[in-house]
Structure 1
Amino acid sequence: MATVTELLQPVEQDLETLLSDLRSLIGAGHPILQAAAEHLFSAGGKRLRPGIVLLISRALSANGELTARHRRLAEITEMIHTASLVHDDVVDEASTRRGVATVHSRFNHRVAVLAGDFLFAQASWHLANLDDLEVVKLLSRVIMDLADGEVKQGLFRYDTGQTFATYLEKSYCKTASLIANSAKAAGVLSNESSEHLDSLYHYGRQLGLAFQVVDDILDFTGSDQQLGKPAASDLASGYLTAPALYALEEQPKLAGLIEREFSGDEDLAQALELVRASRAIPRSRELAETFAREAREALAWLPESPSRRALIELPEFVLGRLY
């Protein structure tokens, strides 16, 4: 099983350049915002999203070289992703992310909200400067989707009547939209046909959904160390993900526990038992496997290259986090 670092090997240098460029792009102006941004970009993280943009850009390039606009697109992708994490952490009141103090716990809530806004605004500015209306539309849509996903997630807390489609829509907004639209944008900058653009979008969408479903399974099966947060924290917060929704179909008793927001002492532990005693986890795993397979199939047309191989292996890597 390859690690992320091994998978991103074909664009390792590009990612190094990306990080130093991001620091100088964001360095402008405000010391507090700069400190917040520095803190974010040095916090580690897998750089998977810009990595995917760079891999696609290289896979589409006749000579395997990257244009300045493709590089900038990858930087914008990472800015948008990072901005969304800052805001998510404020909304979730998380004190750490990947073991590093979150912006709002290191500075304060006001600074964190402004730092997120600042990053979104900078991303928009650099996006506009790519001078490609189609790309601007694709990535502006992502910024809308991220906010939309966050709002939807809040609206449907403890709501046992929500449909599976609602869950997928929210997962798309929060996780898959950025990967799907930035993958397609890389194709736009490479002048690909509309058919190829659709398949790049489909790759990103299905990969993002696989990623989210795997995350949601790990919330039930992972250890606190593995997750970097307490297990079942999504369920405890009232966020109903694939395993919980599948379990509700088999275990009517679960609905009562969720609807009373786990107010009893044993409620959460009992809910976990019900989920684990049902077919919810295997069904969720099958769902993730379907998404991963569809992502792989979407890129069959790409010419052979190290970057293509990495893109085709990524869905397997995402599933590998379950085992």
Structure 2
Amino acid sequence: MLILCFALPLFFITGLSKVVASLLHDDVLDDADTRRGIGSLNLVMGNKISVLAGDFLLSRACMTLASLKNTEVVSLIATAVEHLVTGETMQMSTSAEQRRSMDYYLQKTYYKTASLISNSCKSIALLTGQTAEVAMLAYEYGKNLGLAFQLIDDVLDFTGTSSSLGKGSLSDIRHGIVTAPLLYAMEEFPELRTVVDRGLDNPANVDLALEYLGKSHGIQRTRELAAKHASLASAAIDSLPENDDEDVQRSRRALIELTHRVINRTK
């Protein structure tokens, strides 16, 4: 028990550091000017300082993680960091066919967002001495929660405002990034594929793509997919071994409530 009292806070700090580091790097890649309503670090201090700050946080997080002396957990989080890089690479180097693929999009989304959450959840289960079955359920919870979160994030890029999102609306499409709402719109309107292939760096093509999106069910279908993954996350919690302890029950209710908050958030 004493080990866990030290291990869990350390793991939380490690995970938080990796998340902040990934956001710093993300803002550089996206040329973001703001982060949650305030000037992004890359805007204030420049890209070089922002990248170095992210690298520093990653290195400190890895050192802290190593102090847990659990090789399986270290391996899981190292995998998550590898996935972050892989996801960014997939986003930056897509072919025309890949940009139109929902499977490719979901794989990239898992790497960029859901891998860190799922592997962190699994790691916590392992650190607390849970069985392999429980650890896998924790992984499934984090994976589906992460996918739901990113799907809603992609919806909000179209429906949110700059003040609520803390970044410019339509950020993804203006950077040529095709997300689930547009992918669903392309299923309904195949001619949209030609618009996307011509390049979203052209404002006229962006306006035309948005026109097709507005006529489609892309936003609605993306929300439905997010709700499906949120439901799968809740199901993973419901599948955990029965436990009558009130604290355990309260924690499980909180985890399920989190899935509802993720799909109902507005920023």
Q: TM-score, normalised by structure 1?
A: 0.76
Q: For residues 235 and 158 of structure 1, do their structure 2 counterparts lie closer, same or farther at Cα, with a shift above 3 Å needed? A: farther
CA separation of 1:160/1:68 partners in 2, compared to 1, >3 Å: closer, same or farther?
Answer: closer
2:185·2:218 contact (CA, 8 Å) conserved in 1?
yes
* Equivalent residue letter for 1:308: R
Counterpart of 2:17?
79
Q: State the Cα distance separating 1:264 from its structure 2 match.
A: 5.2
1:255 has 2:199 as partner? no
Equivalent residue for 2:179? 241
Unmatched 5+ residue regions in structure 2?
none
Conserved? CA contact 1:216–1:242, under 8 Å: yes
**Distance in 2 (alpha carbons) for counterparts of 1:267 and 1:110:** 32
CA contact (8 A) 2:118 2:138 kept: yes
Q: CA deviation at 1:158?
A: 6.3
Displacement of 1:78 in angstroms is 0.2
* Residue 315 of structure 1: how far off its partner (Å): 0.6
1:179 aligns with 2:95: no
1:118 aligned residue: 56
Per-residue CA deviations over 1:194-244 (Å, capped at 9, x if unaligned) read 000000000000000000001111112222322222322211211111111
Tell me which residue corresponds to 1:31.
none
Query: Match for 2:190: what amino acid?
Result: P
Work out the CA distance in 2 between the residues paired with 1:114 and 1:264: 32
Paired position in structure 2 for 1:25: none
Residue 311 of structure 1 corresponds to which residue in structure 2?
255
Q: Report the counterpart of residue 28 of structure 2 in structure 1.
A: 90
Give the secondary structure class of the aligned counterpart of 2:199: coil
1:83, 1:119 within 8 Å by CA — same for their partners in 2? Answer: yes
Report the CA distance shift for 1:282/1:200 in structure 2 as closer, same or farther (over 3 A): same
Whole-angstrom CA distance in 1 between matches of 2:50 and 2:254: 35
Task: Give the share of equivalent positions with the same residue, in percent.
Answer: 40
Structure 1 contact 157–239 (Cα < 8 Å) conserved: no
Superposition pairs for residues 204-223 of structure 1, below 5 Å? 204-223=142-161
In 1, the alpha carbon distance for the partners of 2:21 and 2:266 equals: 27
The offset of 1:90, in angstroms, is: 1.1
Over 3 Å counting, the alpha-carbon distance change for 1:193 and 1:170 in structure 2 is same
What amino acid does structure 2 have at the position aligned with 1:206? Answer: N
What is the correspondence of 1:4-15 to structure 2 with a 5 Å cutoff? none
CA contact (8 A) 1:289 1:319 kept: yes
Q: Match of 2:68, SS?
A: coil
Structure 1 gaps, min length 5: 1-60
2:81 to 143, 159, 162: 143
Q: Per-residue deviation at 1:156? A: 2.1
Distance 1:141 1:321, change over 3 A: same
Cα offset, 1:163, TM superposition = 1.7
Question: Is the 1:200–1:298 contact (alpha carbons within 8 Å) kept by the matching residues of 2?
Answer: yes
Aligned to 2:264: 320
* Conserved? CA contact 2:114–2:145, under 8 Å: yes
Q: Contact 1:158/1:239 (CA < 8 Å) preserved in 2? A: no
Q: Separation in 1 of the partners of 2:81 and 2:136?
A: 20
C-alpha distance in 1, partners of 2:233/2:155?
19
Q: CA deviation at 1:257?
A: 1.7
Aligned mates of 1:149, 1:176 — CA distance in 2: 11
Letter in 1 for 2:147: L
Whether the 8 Å contact between 2:76 and 2:123 is mirrored in structure 1 is yes
Query: After the TM superposition, which residues 257-276 of structure 1 pair with which residues of structure 2 at under 5 Å, given as runs?
Result: 257-262=195-200, 265-276=203-214
**1:244 and 1:280 in contact (8 A); partners too:** yes
- Deviation of residue 108 (structure 1)? 2.2
Match of 1:165 in 2: 103
User: Structure 1 stretch 188-197 or stretch 221-230: which is displaced more?
Assistant: 221-230
> Contact conserved, 2:121 with 2:142, CA < 8 A, in 1?
yes
- Alpha-carbon separation, structure 2, partners of 1:264 and 1:212: 25
Structure (1 or 2) with the greater helix fraction? 2
Does 1:67 find its partner at 2:5? yes
How many residues align? The count is 260
